[in-house]
């Protein structure tokens, strides 16, 4: 009552006290950003079809980790690291890999030659080049002899880049793009000496997302006419959000406009290349696919200039969780992440979708409880012989095992975790399915330990807490040790237990009566310790299967102390269910003695 009055008084005091509102100082930001920035003006669409579309198949994928990703690194990859990364990409199933800017350096040229010599027959090696003759010639030289090769040229087409960076008119830009395309054609598919290679061509109207859509269409039509693609080998028009300037739906509108207005659409492959300046690269890519894109360019875990490129892992596994194969293998996510981190020398964020350390982990009590129930229902159906292949686990859109993660890391425990979290760890570590009332008490013990340490508890620490707190199998303390016992049956209801225990090195006889072995043993302890014990909860279940099956028993016993009624739990495990229940009772009694609530009897020597 006194504590409640104090709390009430504190509330009243706060209610009568005034704390003035905090006004941000706006030291650097403008209160009215419209004076400095202008909203992007999206194209006017008379109608759009993409909102009603769905993704039903995987796109063509291009990894640009070794080019766009590498050029953004503070410490670019060595040749050996590039080789390791290249083979990891091939192993994951990438069929198109942009490996370098071969005209930029001898190192890039040499690595391009390595990729050409070591790529499987179905993998196309792509190289980026500026629209300059000597650079194009050097790039074609680097790819000569490849089974499949793609030359990728680009030209800035947005008004801002044309006017500020290149001082080039739209007409000049078109002429430049056509000139470069004709030269690439002359040096590749029109050159009789280059016919052993399947040559493809990619053109990027750079900063497409900020380019007037009519001009983007105009320059690409001119490039297509110069290249003359076929249905079998379409021209690739990469329509990049080089810099994100608007919401993803605007990008989708631009893609749909281009897709529905470009001529000879069957001879065109529309590729997306989304950067993440506004944090929307994945969404823009997915909406771009809805709008008609055929191909996705990006990096593993979204590496790239500034805020990075689109994360191919996220886009691919988003499809996977919708029942669509991405045609990329992410089965060993840990290995993929290790290669990426080692070669990029940049850590993958712990919260990165699918690949981060913490993405399949739950700390919140309610989340843990829901996940635990999901797995329990799954196991129940399996035990009943019900075949249900669909993955339906709360809070986990992807089965961690599909990407090589185990279930041990799904639930992790800190001071915020509820009963389900600690119980899950014990179930996975020891096979013990703790009774619900025991889970509540155990979670409090775990939270107290986590609070005291100020950090998350690891699985071995949680099992240690359990073994100590509940005197698991009498491992923590064994003040009273069972030597032998026998239970005699008298009539249909009465059982008499006679046995011997060791206390402080002395053998003591015990005897108790009840309607079964457990009640008889409890009665014997009541007499021995001069305290009335009663079993308030008893649960048992099997551990393991086959010849290695054991039994686990949980006993909660109540007793009276000077402060009122108290209770303690004990846990026993044995190959025999009868022995496991006896172990649990001894575990509980020893736990009570250790707590100081009940004293050992004085034994005369």
Residue 2 predicted with pLDDT over 60: no
Residue 195 predicted with pLDDT over 90: yes
Predicted confidence (pLDDT) per residue in 38-47, tens digit: 888 888 888 8
The pLDDT of residue 199: 98
CA distance 34 to 281: 24
Contacts 24+ apart (CB under 8 A), 488-492: none
CATH architecture of structural domain 474-595: 2-Layer Sandwich (3.30)
Residue 12 predicted with pLDDT over 80: no
CATH 3.20.20.70 domain range(s) in the chain:
58-344
For the ranges 32-46, 287-301, 558-572, 575-589, the one whose mean pLDDT is highest:
287-301
Are 127 and 108 contacting, i.e. CB atoms less than 8 angstroms apart? no
Residue 577 banded pLDDT, cuts 50, 70, 90: confident
Q: Cβ of 432: how many Cβ atoms within 10 Å? A: 21
Residue 544 predicted with pLDDT over 90: no
Higher pLDDT, 484 or 317: 317
In sequence order, what E strands does 10-146 have?
60-63, 96-100, 124-130
| pLDDT > 90: percent of the chain | 56
The pLDDT of residue 378: 84
The pLDDT of residue 415: 47
Are 342 and 300 contacting, i.e. CB atoms less than 8 angstroms apart? no
Task: Look over the chain and give the mean of its residue pLDDT values, rounded to a whole number.
Answer: 90
List the single range of 142-151, 165-174, 418-427, 568-577 with lowest mean pLDDT: 418-427
**Average pLDDT score over residue span 538-557:** 84
**Average pLDDT score over residue span 551-562:** 89
Q: Cβ of 366: how many Cβ atoms within 10 Å? A: 13
Residue 410 predicted with pLDDT over 70: no
SS3 percent helix, strand, coil of the chain, rounded to 5, is: 45, 20, 35
Burial of residue 531 (CB within 10 Å: 0-12, 13-18, 19+) is: middle
Residue 290 predicted with pLDDT over 70: yes
**Checking DSSP bridges between strand 480-490 and strand 494-503, what pairing results, if any?**
antiparallel
Are 255 and 270 contacting, i.e. CB atoms less than 8 angstroms apart? yes
The pLDDT of residue 7: 57
The pLDDT of residue 420: 67
CATH 3.30.160.270 domain range(s) in the chain:
474-595
**Average pLDDT score over residue span 406-427:** 64
**Average pLDDT score over residue span 382-409:** 84
Predicted confidence (pLDDT) per residue in 202-242, tens digit: 999 999 999 999 999 999 999 999 999 999 999 999 999 99
Nearest Cα to Cα of residue 213 among 257, 153, 152? 257
Predicted confidence (pLDDT) per residue in 293-349, tens digit: 999 999 999 999 999 999 999 999 999 999 999 999 999 999 999 999 999 999 999
Assign domain 58-344 to a CATH class: alpha beta
Higher pLDDT, 6 or 141: 141
Predicted confidence (pLDDT) per residue in 344-386, tens digit: 999 999 889 999 887 777 666 677 778 778 888 888 888 788 8
Predicted confidence (pLDDT) per residue in 77-100, tens digit: 999 999 999 999 999 999 999 999
Neighbouring-strand partners of residue 309: 275
The pLDDT of residue 5: 54
Whole-number Cα distances in Å, 461 to 369, 402, 425, 453, 570:
20, 28, 10, 11, 19
Predicted confidence (pLDDT) per residue in 485-509, tens digit: 888 888 777 889 998 989 988 899 9
Higher pLDDT, 253 or 388: 253
Residue 417 banded pLDDT, cuts 50, 70, 90: low
Residue 516 predicted with pLDDT over 70: yes
Q: What is the distance in angstroms between the CA of the first residue and the CA of the last residue of the chain?
A: 51
For the ranges 292-296, 553-557, 589-593, the one whose mean pLDDT is highest:
292-296
The pLDDT of residue 561: 86
**Average pLDDT score over residue span 389-400:** 88
pTM: predicted TM-score of the whole model, two decimal places: 0.75
The pLDDT of residue 15: 78
Are 356 and 364 contacting, i.e. CB atoms less than 8 angstroms apart? no
Alpha helices in 297-435 (DSSP H): 312-320, 333-344, 365-383, 419-430
Residue 523 banded pLDDT, cuts 50, 70, 90: very high
């Amino acid at each position: 009552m006194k504590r409640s009055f104090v709390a009430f008084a504190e509330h009243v005091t706060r209610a009568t006290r005034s704390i003035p509102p905090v006004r941000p100082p706006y030291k650097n930001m403008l209160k009215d950003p419209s004076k400095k920035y202008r909203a992007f003006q999206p194209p006017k669409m008379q109608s759009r079809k993409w909102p009603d579309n769905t993704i039903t198949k995987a796109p063509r994928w291009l990894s640009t980790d070794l080019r766009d990703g590498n050029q953004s690194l503070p410490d670019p990859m060595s040749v050996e690291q590039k080789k390791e990364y290249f083979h990891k990409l091939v192993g994951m199933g990438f069929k198109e890999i942009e490996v370098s800017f071969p005209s930029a350096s001898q190192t890039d040229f040499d690595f391009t030659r390595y990729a050409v010599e070591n790529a499987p027959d179905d993998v196309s090696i792509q190289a980026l080049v500026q629209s300059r003759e000597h650079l194009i010639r050097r790039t074609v030289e680097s790819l000569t002899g490849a089974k499949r090769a793609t030359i990728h040229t680009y030209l800035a087409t947005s008004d801002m880049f044309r006017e500020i960076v290149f001082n080039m008119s739209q007409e000049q830009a078109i002429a430049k793009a056509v000139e470069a395309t004709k030269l690439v054609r002359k040096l590749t598919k029109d050159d009789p000496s280059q016919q052993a290679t399947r040559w493809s061509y990619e053109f990027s109207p750079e900063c497409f997302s900020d380019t007037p859509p009519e001009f983007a269409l105009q320059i690409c039509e001119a490039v297509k006419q110069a290249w003359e693609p076929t249905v079998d080998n379409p021209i690739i028009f990469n329509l990049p959000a080089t810099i994100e300037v608007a919401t993803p739906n605007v990008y989708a509108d631009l893609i749909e406009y281009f897709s529905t207005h470009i001529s000879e659409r069957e001879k065109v492959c529309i590729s997306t290349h989304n950067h993440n300046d506004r944090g929307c690269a994945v969404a823009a890519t997915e909406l771009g696919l809805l709008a008609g894109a055929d191909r996705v360019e990006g990096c593993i875990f979204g590496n790239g200039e500034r805020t990075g490129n689109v994360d191919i892992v996220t886009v691919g596994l988003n499809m996977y969780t919708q029942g669509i194969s991405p045609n990329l293998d992410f089965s060993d996510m840990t290995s993929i992440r290790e290669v990426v981190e080692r070669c990029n020398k940049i850590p993958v964020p712990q919260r990165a979708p699918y690949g981060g350390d913490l993405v399949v982990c739950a700390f919140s009590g309610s989340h843990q409880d829901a996940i635990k129930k999901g797995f329990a229902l799954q196991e129940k159906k399996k035990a009943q012989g019900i075949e249900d292949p669909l993955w339906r686990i709360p809070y986990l859109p992807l089965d961690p095992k599909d990407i090589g993660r185990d279930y041990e890391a799904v639930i992790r425990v800190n001071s915020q975790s509820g009963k389900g979290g600690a119980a899950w760890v014990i179930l996975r570590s020891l096979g013990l399915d703790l009774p619900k009332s025991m889970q509540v008490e155990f979670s409090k013990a775990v939270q107290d330990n986590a609070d005291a340490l100020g950090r998350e508890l690891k699985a071995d620490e949680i099992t240690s807490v359990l073994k100590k707190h509940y005197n698991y199998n009498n491992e923590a303390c064994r003040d009273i040790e069972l030597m032998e016992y026998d239970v005699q049956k008298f009539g249909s209801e009465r059982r008499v237990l006679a046995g011997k225990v060791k206390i402080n090195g002395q053998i003591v006889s015990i005897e108790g009566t009840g309607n079964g072995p457990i009640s008889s043993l409890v009665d014997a302890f009541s007499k021995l310790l001069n305290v009335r014990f009663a079993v308030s909860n008893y649960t048992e279940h099997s551990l393991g299967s086959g010849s290695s099956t054991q039994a686990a028993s949980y006993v909660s016993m109540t007793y009276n102390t000077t402060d009122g009624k108290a209770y303690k739990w004990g846990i026993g495990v044995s190959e025999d269910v009868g022995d496991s229940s006896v172990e649990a009772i001894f575990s509980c009694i020893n736990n009570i003695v250790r707590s100081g609530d009940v004293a050992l009897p004085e034994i005369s020597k």
